[in-house]
Structure 1
Amino acid sequence: METTLRQLAAYAAVARAASFTAAAAQLHISQSSLSRAVADLERQLGTQLLERDTRNVQLTAAGAEALRIAEQIVNSHRSGMKELERFLLGESGTVAVATLPSVAAVLLPEVISSFRKQQPQVAIQIMDGLEQSVVDRVLSGDADFAITTGEPSGQLEHRPLVRDRFVAVLPQAHPLADRPQVSWEDLAREPFLAVGRDSSVRRLTDAAFAQVDAQTAPASEAGNVATVGGLVAAGLGVSAMPALVLPLLGSGPVVHRPLVEPAVDRRLDIALRARRPLPPAAQRFLTTLEEFRTQQRDLPTGVSWT
């Protein structure tokens, strides 16, 4: 028979109190049960831990060492159970969020700040990347959920979160900058600076040009939206970006104008693995995000809650 946590806790209580009667009262068990537990422990260890007489209980040398070890084990168990309880209540652990760079930089910081005030023991891990890599993070289990574009599938459940509208991004001195709004056909007549094909922004701009039957081969393309912003600022062409991306373009001399004919929105959803429960801390984070949505907290111009 193996030594049990109950036996160690019983022995530690007796050894600390130097009394079976006091320890039994502390543990709310009968004195006979307590005596039996200590006797079983001594029998399993093959040594006497306590010297007993009618009035006193004293520790043997082995008993003193056994008390030190027993208290370590009992305290470690108690601490571990409290840690598990905090995890199950969503008060500890790590929330792993996979998302697009624009969401990570613009939308999430205020949400994370609010969440951390409520749950300071929970760490937040942001995994930013392009659309497919973000989805893959969720499917592989590396991330608890994603905030991304794309359509629902059999593997992922989508919950609408925000929309951001595409705008024309123009050099400050460009002739189109004088207009109150710009059409996609207007952009198609200019050297167009595109982001890489793996980006959700590229997928949506290509679809918008196709919708107006404009054959537009990019004059240049770059994997990073900040690079595209720099190229526009240098006067090398024009571009189109959803509103949430604009803060990532840098501080160069560019202007933004509403894009029309058609107006194009990018929808960003919360994507979760279908039929898989979220860890408690991740569920609490989503609750905070939902509170931002229901309260209609302020968003940048061109971005709206869905």
Structure 2
Amino acid sequence: MNFSLRQLNAFIAVARNASFTKAAEQFHITQAGLSAMVRELEEQLNCRLFERTTRVVRLTPAGARLLPVVERTVGELGAAAADVASLERPQRNRARIGVTPLIACSVIPDVLKRLQRIVPEADFEVSDLDRALIQGQVERGELDAGFGAFFNRVSGIRRRALFQWHPVLAVAPGSRRTTSPTAWTDVAIDNLISLPRDNPIQQLVDRRLHITPADAPKGRTVTHLETAMAMVEAGLGQAIVPSFAAVARSRWRVRFVTMEPVLALNYYCITPAGRPVPPLVEHFAAVFTAVAGMHMKTPKKTPLSQRRPTRIGNDMARQVLAR
């Protein structure tokens, strides 16, 4: 057998998403290319790993038996590769960080500029990735830390809350004169621009609005928050988005209306469990928390320095806010 790590990761992605289309989006390749990788793996193993129909993709008994072994093997290999790489570069002052595209284009430039002044010798490698990819790469040790709205605890990952966020209604300027909060029950779902139904934020919204797949508005689904904000600005509808989307308020002219009852949720820094958090990650998290708070123009509810006091975190936050 001569299968590749990429084939194994493709197998894991299809199994977790129960979809070749969604897995291909995560890999940033065509569905045909991903299907070819899985088919080659099946040929080398001489067994079928998935039952494929027009409506569903599910593991065969052989696939279900293989999946935990492959997940464990890929995870251990990723962690080992990261450890070996760090041995080859013992003097390199580097941290690998994963953030979502909205955060990358709005907050990260300011964060990196401030870090250049505070820790000029440091090398921060920032990747803009889908939230699910960030979680997977942190789990495998390919990233030192990830930042995002991670809803569920995952074995092998440590979560630490940086601040709180809540769903808000994004509306076009001038479309709503009052600044008072709006009730969830008053939202007109026919005018909503939505994220994909499998997105955890959208699933939260659907539960609150009692939207079923049959009720979901047709033709108003976009993949990224950035697209939703641009469509709202253009007057094409409204969207329920996380309040941390306010970090991008200078990029799109939209207004945010508080939803009542308010649902308070956490925005996290995630790191591999079982390892000490690198000092550079502590630096990055402290600066990120302070800068994000200023971009959102709201008080930081649960900053890193309060959740886990450290001299680095406290000193860094004070330096950032003083600038």
The CA deviation at 1:106 is 4.0
Q: Could you tell me how far apart the structure 2 residues matched to 1:231 and 1:215 are?
A: 23
Aligned letter for 2:187?
L
The CA deviation at 1:249 is 6.7
Aligned to 1:267: 266
Bigger Cα Rg: 1
Q: Could you tell me how far apart the structure 2 residues matched to 1:292 and 1:171 are?
A: 28
Aligned to 2:319: none
Q: Could you tell me how far apart the structure 1 residues matched to 2:250 and 2:286 are?
A: 30
Alpha-carbon displacement from aligned partner over 1:247-270 (angstroms, at most 9, x marks no partner): 44775553221111x212341111
Which is worse superposed, 126-135 or 107-116? Answer: 107-116
The CA deviation at 1:297 is 6.6
Aligned to 1:300: 296
The CA deviation at 1:275 is 0.5
Q: Could you tell me how far apart the structure 2 residues matched to 1:223 and 1:296 are?
A: 23
1:193–1:238 Cα contact (<8 Å) kept: yes
Aligned letter for 1:160?
A
1:164–1:243 Cα contact (<8 Å) kept: yes
Aligned to 2:152: 151
The CA deviation at 1:296 is 11
The CA deviation at 1:295 is 11
Q: Closer, same or farther in 2 for the Cα pair 1:263/1:163, shift >3 Å?
A: same
Q: Closer, same or farther in 2 for the Cα pair 1:184/1:214, shift >3 Å?
A: farther
TM-score, with normalisation over the residues of structure 1? 0.58
Unaligned runs of 5+ in 1: 1-83
The residue matched to 2:168 in structure 1 has which SS?
strand
Richer in strand (by share): 1
Q: Could you tell me how far apart the structure 2 residues matched to 1:143 and 1:185 are?
A: 41
The CA deviation at 1:194 is 0.8
Q: Closer, same or farther in 2 for the Cα pair 1:110/1:160, shift >3 Å?
A: same
Task: Write out aligned runs for 1:76-115 (5 A).
Answer: 87=90, 92-115=92-115
Aligned to 2:57: none
The residue matched to 1:194 in structure 2 has which SS?
coil
**Percent identity over paired residues:** 17
Aligned to 1:256: 256
Aligned letter for 1:304?
K
Q: Closer, same or farther in 2 for the Cα pair 1:230/1:118, shift >3 Å?
A: closer
2:182–2:259 Cα contact (<8 Å) kept: yes
Q: Closer, same or farther in 2 for the Cα pair 1:119/1:178, shift >3 Å?
A: closer
TM-score, with normalisation over the residues of structure 2? 0.55
1:164–1:267 Cα contact (<8 Å) kept: yes
1:131–1:198 Cα contact (<8 Å) kept: no
Aligned letter for 1:157?
R
Q: Closer, same or farther in 2 for the Cα pair 1:128/1:216, shift >3 Å?
A: farther
2:144–2:281 Cα contact (<8 Å) kept: no
Task: Write out aligned runs for 1:1-306 (5 A).
Answer: 87=90, 92-148=92-148, 149-174=150-175, 176-178=176-178, 180-197=180-197, 199-210=199-210, 217-219=216-218, 220-248=220-248, 251=251, 253-260=253-260, 262-278=261-277, 282-287=278-283, 289-290=285-286, 298-302=294-298, 304-306=300-302
Alpha-carbon displacement from aligned partner over 1:25-61 (angstroms, at most 9, x marks no partner): xxxxxxxxxxxxxxxxxxxxxxxxxxxxxxxxxxxxx
Alpha-carbon displacement from aligned partner over 1:219-247 (angstroms, at most 9, x marks no partner): 40111222212322333221111222134
2:167–2:258 Cα contact (<8 Å) kept: yes
Q: Could you tell me how far apart the structure 2 residues matched to 1:215 and 1:250 are?
A: 36
Q: Could you tell me how far apart the structure 2 residues matched to 1:247 and 1:239 are?
A: 16
2:162–2:289 Cα contact (<8 Å) kept: yes
Aligned letter for 1:158?
R
1:168–1:257 Cα contact (<8 Å) kept: yes
Q: Could you tell me how far apart the structure 2 residues matched to 1:183 and 1:215 are?
A: 23
2:111–2:291 Cα contact (<8 Å) kept: no
Q: Could you tell me how far apart the structure 1 residues matched to 2:161 and 2:258 are?
A: 23
